[in-house]
Structure formats: structure tokens, C-alpha cells
Amino acid sequence: FYTWAKNSKTTYIIATLLILLGISIVININNDENFFWQVIVFILFLGSLLYKGFEK
């Protein structure tokens, strides 16, 4: 995992996604359905990134 985390490009991508998710949560905090789907998509995307990272 550490060798994968050393890839700064991947780290920046994940950090950017976390920031975007945080912003979208603040904007859409009253829209429960939209928030629900955003979380699912984010978890699936992050999961696929982690899977690719561990696969190497």
C-alpha cells in the first residue's frame, strides 16, 4: 500500500475527490436522495481505485 501511496498523482486525485465530495455534501445537504447516490458512486469509485492500487 505504501508503494502505491507514494504515487503522488493518485494521492492528489483522491484528495481532490474527497474535497469535491465534501463540497457537494455541503451544497446538497437538503437533498437526501441525491446525497445518497453521490455517496454510493464515490464509494464504488474509491473502491475501484483501491482495488487497482492493491492489484499492482
- In a 13 Å sphere around the CA of 19, the CA atoms on its Cβ side amount to 6
Amino acid found at 23: I
What is the number of structural domains in the chain? 1
What's the CA gap between 42 and 23, in Å, rounded? 13
The residue segments making up the domain with residue 10 are: 2-55
Q: Is the pTM of this model over 0.85?
A: no
Predicted pLDDT at 34: 67
Task: Give the mean pLDDT of 7-14.
Answer: 75
